[in-house]
């Protein structure tokens, strides 16, 4: 192992057999956390080439179980690199399923200032995110979609390595990130993937060039496993939607699906991602089909079916309401909304939702909006955060602000 660390440290590539041996030895305890942490830090500085990412991914997949969907010809999954008010999964999964392409979505929990789809769904009373393997597969076959927490049996080496990297400062590495994401996704058994790579101050990747590189690598490595994939690189500086919290984002997604909300930014990204997911499933006019599934209520009904299949009821979903205590926040000056700090808002909403799962923040403005002094700009639901906490997160300036594109690149 020391030799392998030194070779990587000195800028060499390790061959596939070595990566397999390292991960196997790590699983058995023959390689310990200290050696693995040193290797991961060396990789942070030296990176992995494509063959190395493929080998590491494969080794981590082989460390655990793999799901299979024998009764469905083509199942898609979708992954987001994490954002604030990122409700794309909640909306796109039932849309795609309603359009006829089954979705087997394995999701994570909140991480730092970013939300987790699992946490959001758990705000619906009765909703179960821990599905057994057979149950998950059966639901995908029967309902056409499921969103569940990834079982510990899938790519356990990745889970252990990620926890290690997280506490030893070697999370930033395109190669390690790709191997981590893809090992989980491959173990999840879907036949094609769409990756939503967020880019900006509130995303894991701040730099667009790096985000595009990550997106490209994800697609390239998936291809090496014969899994067609697409990637969308999208901006994540301001929150994607209007609501920030767990239950409040589920409410926003529900209301978007049933036509009671029409936020343009959410719509743009949901349609872009849905179209790519449908394209993988052989549907070329995906955007048109997705718009129709929304308009005709099929997407919402599929969402309800999924909610019911996972232990909750339509009534529980439809009676879900934001936490009662509300505080309206108003602009302290007139001007243009120049900046909405998604990191701060994400962290503040974590404080709110720790007291009530349907607490959170609802924005009334986006970057570029003109506001007058005294105009409502946000509503805070729940206790624990006041307007003064949020004041600095929404910046209003005299100068007009150009609105940057939401979708930065598609692959």
Query: Which of 8, 79, 198, 227 is labelled catalytic?
Result: 79
Q: How far is the CB of 112 from a second copy (least distance, A)?
A: 12
Residue 327 is among the residues annotated as catalytic for this protein? no
Q: How far is the CB of 42 from a second copy (least distance, A)?
A: 6
Residues 251/318, Cβ–Cβ less than 8 Å = no
Q: How far is the CB of 171 from a second copy (least distance, A)?
A: 9
The residue among 15 and 401 lying less far from a second copy, judged by its C-beta, is 15
The residue among 6 and 152 lying less far from a second copy, judged by its C-beta, is 6
Q: How far is the CB of 41 from a second copy (least distance, A)?
A: 4
Going from the C-alpha of 9 to that of each of 30, 46, 48, 174, 177, the distances in angstroms are 20, 7, 11, 16, 18
DSSP string, 363-382: ES--TT-EE-TT-EEEEEES
Residue 77 is among the residues annotated as catalytic for this protein? no
The residue among 229 and 343 lying less far from a second copy, judged by its C-beta, is 343
Interacting residue ranges for a second copy, rule: CB under 8 A: 1-2, 5-6, 9, 32-42, 44-45, 164, 166-170
Query: Which of 78, 113, 184, 217 is labelled catalytic?
Result: 184
Q: How far is the CB of 81 from a second copy (least distance, A)?
A: 19
The residue among 171 and 291 lying less far from a second copy, judged by its C-beta, is 171
Residues 24/161, Cβ–Cβ less than 8 Å = no
Dihedral over Cα of 358, 271, 286, 260: its sign? positive
The residue among 170 and 274 lying less far from a second copy, judged by its C-beta, is 170
Residue 184 is among the residues annotated as catalytic for this protein? yes
Going from the C-alpha of 235 to that of each of 187, 230, 410, the distances in angstroms are 28, 17, 12
Contacts of 232 (CB under 8 A, 6+ apart): 194, 195, 196, 197, 215, 269, 272, 273, 276, 407, 409, 410, 411
User: Distance between CA atoms of 155 and 311, rounded to whole angstroms?
Assistant: 26
**Nearest alpha-carbon partner for 190 in 306, 102, 272:** 102
Q: How far is the CB of 170 from a second copy (least distance, A)?
A: 6
Query: Which of 77, 158, 196, 263 is labelled catalytic?
Result: 158
Query: Which of 63, 81, 180, 237 is labelled catalytic?
Result: 180
Query: And the tokens for 183?
Result: 């090992």
Going from the C-alpha of 314 to that of each of 98, 126, 294, 300, the distances in angstroms are 17, 11, 18, 11
396 beta partners: 337
Residue 79 is among the residues annotated as catalytic for this protein? yes
DSSP designation for 397: E
Residue 373 is among the residues annotated as catalytic for this protein? no
Query: Which of 44, 46, 165, 298 is labelled catalytic?
Result: 165
The residue among 9 and 109 lying less far from a second copy, judged by its C-beta, is 9
Residues 77/188, Cβ–Cβ less than 8 Å = yes
Q: How far is the CB of 53 from a second copy (least distance, A)?
A: 20
For strand 335-340 and strand 394-397, is the pairing parallel, antiparallel, or unpaired? antiparallel
The residue among 187 and 343 lying less far from a second copy, judged by its C-beta, is 343
Catalytic sites, residue numbers: 79, 158, 165, 180, 184
């Amino acid at each position: 192992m020391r030799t392998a660390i030194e070779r990587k440290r000195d800028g060499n590539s390790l061959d596939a057999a070595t990566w397999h041996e390292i991960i196997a030895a790590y699983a058995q305890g023959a390689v310990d956390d200290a050696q693995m942490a040193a290797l991961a830090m060396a990789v942070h500085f030296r990176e992995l080439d494509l063959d190395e990412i493929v080998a590491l991914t494969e080794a981590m997949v082989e460390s655990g179980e793999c799901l299979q969907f024998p009764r469905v010809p083509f199942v898609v999954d979708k992954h987001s690199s994490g954002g604030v008010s990122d409700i794309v999964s909640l909306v796109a999964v039932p849309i795609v399923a309603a359009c006829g392409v089954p979705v087997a979505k394995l999701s994570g929990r909140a991480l730092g200032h970013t939300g987790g789809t699992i946490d959001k769904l758990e705000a619906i009373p009765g909703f179960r995110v821990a599905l057994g393997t057979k149950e998950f597969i059966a639901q995908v076959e029967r309902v056409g979609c499921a969103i569940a927490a990834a079982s510990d049996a899938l790519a356990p080496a990745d889970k252990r390595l990620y926890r290690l990297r997280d506490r030893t400062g070697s999370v930033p590495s395109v190669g390690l990130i790709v191997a981590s994401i893809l090992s989980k996704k491959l173990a999840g058994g879907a036949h094609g993937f769409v990756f939503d790579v967020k880019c900006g101050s509130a995303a894991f990747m701040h730099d667009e060039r790096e985000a595009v590189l990550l997106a490209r690598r994800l697609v390239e490595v998936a291809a090496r496993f014969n899994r067609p994939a697409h990637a969308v690189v999208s901006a994540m500086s301001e929150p994607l939607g209007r609501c920030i919290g767990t239950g409040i984002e589920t409410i926003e997604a529900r209301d978007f699906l049933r036509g009671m909300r029409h936020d343009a930014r959410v719509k743009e990204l949901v349609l872009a991602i849905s179209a790519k997911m449908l394209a993988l499933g052989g549907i070329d006019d995906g955007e048109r089909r997705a718009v129709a599934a929304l308009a005709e209520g099929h997407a919402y009904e599929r969402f309800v079916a999924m909610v019911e299949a996972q232990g909750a009821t339509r009534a529980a979903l439809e009676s879900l309401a934001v936490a009662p205590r509300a505080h309206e926040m108003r602009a302290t000056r007139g001007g243009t909304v120049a900046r909405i700090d998604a990191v701060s808002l994400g962290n503040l909403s974590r404080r709110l939702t720790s007291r009530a799962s349907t607490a959170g923040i609802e924005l009334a403005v986006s970057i570029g909006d003109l506001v007058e002094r005294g105009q409502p700009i946000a509503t805070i639901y729940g206790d624990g955060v006041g307007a003064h906490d949020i004041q600095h997160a929404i910046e209003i300036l005299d100068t007009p602000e150009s609105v940057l594109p939401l979708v930065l690149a598609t692959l």
